Amino acid sequence: MTKLGARSSTDDVLQGKDLTGRTVVITGSNCGIGFETAQALAGAGAKVIFACRNVEKGEEALRRCKALHPQSDLAFFPLDLASADSIKHFCTEVKDETIDTLICNAGLVPTNYQETKEGLEMTVGVCHFGHFLLTQLLLPQLLETKVLNTDSSKRVSPRVVMVSSESHRMPAKLNFNKFPLKKTDTFIPLMAYGQAKLCNALFANELQRRFGDQGLTACSLHPGALITTSFGRDSGFLSLVFKLVSPLTKNPNQGAATTVYCASHENTEELAGKYFSHCKPVRSTKEANNPETARKLWEVSEEWVTDEI
């Protein structure tokens, strides 16, 4: 197998792998690294469920994936992570699916303060709270996968893959007095994004602590620096910066490689509770690995979930 690293592609990661029988839900899979993750896993035989906010773009992404892999098994269901009702509706739509992998990929960086339908600051509302509710609702299906899969030759460990970022390093601490941010707080887009990405790593670690003994594997990852996607679509400044530095960055397929690695790597013990970059485990921050912060974040998130279910 090709030695994996910073410039590895999804083809490099999946060389010789057959994912037939796997079913993967991928949020934000209509473009960028989400789409590249989806098409790569579909090409390796997995059933892929596209979970995207925009119906037109989601259906178009499915068609593009089908054109690349005509024999692939694909489905699309609308999912707006800024709406608890949409999340609950999505989970109702997929309740009969045997889901073994959830990839929480969707994210955004609003340039000004915005709120979800439930009044949460949009960045953490989508990147963390939306994914938290989605995971909670799909967790019984994920855990059931291990019970249903009795064929040892195709044993599947259910897993949750959180697409975090090196941005999780700022802030150094998760200040619960300013989490989520309120309208009255000074809104700094990259600080809000850093909060959200720190939450992704903390959530993966707490999932592993709480459900690892039930067979669940959870991990988080950094896809790569300033990947050339539509990520900065809401900011002319960010779009310009991305374009200028694009020769130095990964392309979307390379950016998806670490996600695909975490979704397909056979030895789950090498994934459990770890943080990855360039298809390898690396050290995340002390705060990301703080069990007390992770526990408190879970409790804060659970309070919101209780109100919404």
Which are the catalytic amino acids? 193
DSSP state, residue 4: P
- List phi, psi (to 5°) of 229: -130, -165
Q: Please check whether residue 255 is in contact with residue 227, taking contact to mean a CB–CB distance below 8 angstroms.
A: yes
Q: Count the neighbouring beta carbons within 10 Å of the beta carbon of residue 187.
A: 17
33 sits in which H/E element: helix 32-43
Of 271, 272, 270, 140, whose CA–CA distance to 212 is shortest? 272
The sheet with strand 47-52 has its strands ordered as 74-78, 47-52, 23-27, 101-104, 159-163, 217-222, 275-277, 280-282
Q: Please check whether residue 229 is in contact with residue 31, taking contact to mean a CB–CB distance below 8 angstroms.
A: yes
Amino acid at 157: S
Largest CA distance in the chain: 56
Q: How far apart are CA 212 and CA 210, in angstroms?
A: 6
User: What's the distance, CA 41 to chain centroid?
Assistant: 14
- List phi, psi (to 5°) of 20: -55, 135
Q: Please check whether residue 194 is in contact with residue 170, taking contact to mean a CB–CB distance below 8 angstroms.
A: yes
DSSP per-residue codes, 217-241:
EEEEEE--TT-SSSTTTT-HHHHHH
